[in-house]
Structure 1
Amino acid sequence: MSDVFPEECISETISFTCARDACRFSVVSTVFKSAADSDAVWEKFLPSDYREIISGSASPLLLTTNVSKKDLYLHLCHNPIIINNGTMSFAIEKESGKKCYMVGVRGLSFSCGDSQCWKWSSLQESRFCKVAELNYVWWLDVKGKIDTKILSPKTNYGAYLVFKLTESTSGFRTRPVKLGVYLEGIDNGERRNVYLDPPRNTPKLSQKRGDGWMEIEMGEFFNENGDNGMLICSVFYFKGLHTKRGLIVEGIELRPKDGK
């Protein structure tokens, strides 16, 4: 095929596939490798507004350095960049190239946000400059908001609480918290009760991430066209006078679920 069609035609054809297929094509022959690795192909795999996102980030030099579009794509898969004045991070999902966002603690709302309830500190393993550690609360209410217009359209997103538990944690083993994902003003979204520190013989719903944090799925949301307004992701507990402590929150992440 490479002897029949010019490289530009091969590149154009590959650009209608996906990043995974482009990598497979690159091992067919030297001509295919050149076509599959071209900027013309990988520009199509990047989000259409990637330049705007990067230019307003803490890493604008990614647009000015002599880096190929393939290398930029792979960089954004493995190295989230900080945006919105440090309140969010942005990355792309490796298989699909769709957008992933995490709302850090500076972008979350804490109904009990004073120094007695939460302590703001820095952790080396966090992508953000600050995380929030729970000193103690009687009730818990943490919310994150994200505008659906910045999410990838026609995409099923999962929302995940990214957290850790300290050695002195208490109140999360005997009492579940309620997680919710719903549209602002249309409070009919999904709700689930989960144990962040599950008791013995209770299924563990959280899992360890590659970055050393834990995550637990809060719910999911299908973003049709990005015109549904604000998506709310919440963690709350209001039942009884049971103190909770020792929860460290890095943020709430939204990413395509199962690459869809």
Structure 2
Amino acid sequence: MGANVSGGRSDCDGDGSLLRRPRFDDIPESCVALVLMRLDPTEICNLARLNQAFHRASRADFIWESKLPSNYRFIAEKALGDTALSTLSKKEIYSRLSKPNSIDDATKEVWLDKNSGGICLSISSKLPPSSPQNSTSSPILPLGFPTRS
């Protein structure tokens, strides 16, 4: 308390001109990006709202690629389509994979857990209408049980 006054500091340099106080915008974008890389996705998004420097740094692909699982390319091709990898930023891929995506004729849903970055998979207990096992000519049989003749 009162450190500026008691230390004799002022907002002027020796010749009386005003000094500009450092601001967040003064931090180089590359430094901000390196800090953001160590945070989780929700913290990155919160800091991106702080100012333009943080917002620009938060869009760097290397930040979001570090949050994606190692097999994200395979998952993105299945869930988002072949063109997604070449047209979308890593941040957009992360965002889209964080929501449930239907795969394998809508029998499964896959998404990334936003907190851990882990892959989540939900397998449907219902078969899609186009499934050959849903037709009237072939009954659905429990796995592992022999058929009766």
TM-score range, shorter chain: 0.5 to 0.7
**Alignment partner of 1:30 out of 49, 52, 74:** 52
Rate the CA distance shift 1:73–1:58 in 2: closer, same or farther, 3 A.
Answer: closer
Mind listing any 5+ residue stretches in structure 1 that lack a counterpart? Answer: 107-119, 123-128, 134-140, 143-260
Count of aligned residue pairs for this structure pair: 113
Secondary structure at the aligned position of 2:55 is classed as helix
TM-score norm. by structure 1 comes to: 0.37
Report what 1:49 is aligned to.
Answer: 71
Which of these two proteins has the greater Rg computed from alpha carbons?
2
Quick check: 1:80–1:89 contact (8 Å CA) kept in 2?
Answer: yes
- 2:115 aligns to what? 95
Once the two structures are TM-superposed, the CA of residue 56 in structure 1 deviates from its matched residue by 4.8
Q: Is the 8 A contact 2:108 2:121 kept in 1?
A: yes
2-side partners of 1:46 and 1:16: how far apart?
13
What is the RMSD of the two structures over their aligned residues, measured on CA atoms? Answer: 3.1
Which amino acid is 2:98 matched to? C
Q: Which amino acid aligns with 1:3?
A: D
Do the aligned residues in 2 keep the contact of 1:76 with 1:92 (CA within 8 Å)?
yes
Alignment correspondent of 1:77: 98
Sequence identity of aligned pairs in percent? Answer: 25
Query: 1:39 is matched with which residue: 29, 50, 61?
Result: 61
Relative to its length, the structure with more helix (as a share) is 2
Equivalent AA in structure 2 for residue 89 of structure 1: E
1:13 aligns with 2:35: yes
Whether the 8 Å CA contact 2:33–2:63 is kept in 1: the answer is: yes
Compare the two structures and name the one with the higher strand fraction. 1
Distance 1:78 1:86, change over 3 A: closer
| Secondary structure in structure 2 of the residue aligned to 1:78 | coil
Q: Secondary structure at the match of 2:26?
A: coil
**RCO comparison, higher one (Cα < 8 Å, 6+):** 1
Cα distance change, pair 8–44 in 1 and its aligned pair in 2 (3 A)? same
Relative distance call for 1:74 and 1:56 in structure 2 (3 A) is: closer
CA contact (8 A) 2:100 2:109 kept: no
TM-score (norm 2): 0.60
